[in-house]
Homo-oligomer: A and B are copies of this chain.
């Protein structure tokens, strides 16, 4: 008998039929003797509809009121799932953020959870109820409604699992059945990963495998909540476990790297021949940061004749504004020129295994060289190596790395 926190996304509760399916999954767990807390997102499309409605009245909408409006989506879906469970004979109760007091700070639309009072939930579980919690929402100290940001229901589920000391936190997905070694859309040999560490998952998530909210994974890592990414359509199938590094390494498969990801949503800007003085980076990047532009990779070439080239990437959506700002600063700094390119792609390999294995970077570069793919920028971390390449080579790069690191078959078997 286990206590399981489950999270169902918007597509999983999109209509009456799908809500019934979710209730069946929960009913099966109950039959197995498990206690279940189910966290739900708003029915698919509902949050978008509400944001659009609000924006048609005030653009951008006041964030306090926007949170009041959007949180209604989870209120409805949580009530509906509780109804469905009751209709099937499983006593159930829904809770909103203000009822179990999911206490957050007051940063509307991206609030952080400070505390959860799990007493009501524990009481309900102790008398056999299935507890359905509205995801995404909380309240601040003054009782104002807050929301946790897009994908916030993942965070609600992980936080609840932590507070309740749940045995696991299952994240049911409608569009994927787990985490893959690469995007199956471009790499037919991509294989579902059985276990991955929190750190790897974070790198995989932020690099484009948008399966889990990064903050939820960070939270899970901090409080050691075991995550299980599972397909809603096949609720008995094992998905991917996201666990601590040691446990992830235990499974014989994680010898070197876990996956290959790519990101086509970056653009690259280079400022050439900047006078290489202390503080030059601050001068260049502060105005961009002030505008909320998120700079990802930064590469500075070795200085020659007191001049240096500075290259960095920004999200494509901020590309034009970034060029404008950069040109202004470049002029002030006495740089030669600003060149830019938005036909790029960032391809990365991720794996805790590379901590203890040398030669991984070399193998990546060799693979690109063999395919004639030119590397424009390189950035490395403990468990990740990223290369910026010409966008047209993205699929080729992913496939060849996948082959080179033998991700298509289970290692050690």
Interface of A toward B, CB cutoff 8 Å: 16, 19-20, 50, 53-54, 56-58, 61-62, 64-66, 68-69, 71-73, 75-76, 78-80, 82-84, 86-87, 93-94, 96, 98-99, 143-145
Whether B75 lies near A62 (C-beta < 8 A) is: no
Whether B57 lies near A143 (C-beta < 8 A) is: no
- Cβ of A271 to closest chain B Cβ, rounded Å: 41
- Cβ of A380 to closest chain B Cβ, rounded Å: 46
Known: A56-B16, A58-B84, A87-B58. Is A50-B64 also a contact (CB below 8 A)? no
Whether A78 lies near B86 (C-beta < 8 A) is: no
Q: How many copies of the chain does the oligomer comprise?
A: 2
Beyond A16-B53, A75-B75, A98-B98: 9 further Cβ-contacts under 8 Å? A16-B56, A20-B57, A53-B76, A58-B83, A65-B79, A65-B86, A65-B94, A69-B83, A72-B76
The docked-state distance in angstroms from the alpha carbon of A79 to that of B94 is 22
List 26 interface pairs A-B (beta carbons < 8 Å), by A numbering: A16-B56, A16-B57, A50-B76, A53-B76, A54-B79, A54-B83, A57-B80, A57-B83, A62-B82, A62-B83, A65-B79, A65-B82, A65-B86, A65-B94, A68-B75, A68-B76, A68-B94, A69-B76, A69-B79, A69-B80, A69-B83, A72-B75, A75-B75, A98-B99, A99-B144, A99-B145
The 7 closest A-B pairs by CB, nearest first: A58-B87, A69-B79, A68-B79, A72-B72, A58-B83, A65-B79, A72-B75
Whether B99 lies near A83 (C-beta < 8 A) is: no
Whether A57 lies near B19 (C-beta < 8 A) is: yes
Whether B82 lies near A145 (C-beta < 8 A) is: no
Q: Which of B66, B84, B93, B98 contacts A57 (CB 8 A)?
A: B84
The docked-state distance in angstroms from the alpha carbon of A57 to that of B96 is 20
Q: Which of A16, A68, A78 has the most CB of B within 10 A?
A: A68
Known: A19-B57, A65-B79, A79-B69. Is A98-B50 also a contact (CB below 8 A)? no
Whether B58 lies near A86 (C-beta < 8 A) is: yes
- Cβ of A105 to closest chain B Cβ, rounded Å: 17
The docked-state distance in angstroms from the alpha carbon of A143 to that of B98 is 8
Which residues on B sit within 8 Å (CB–CB) of A145? 96, 99
Which residues on B sit within 8 Å (CB–CB) of A80? 53-54, 57, 65, 69
- Cβ of A88 to closest chain B Cβ, rounded Å: 9
Whether B96 lies near A68 (C-beta < 8 A) is: yes
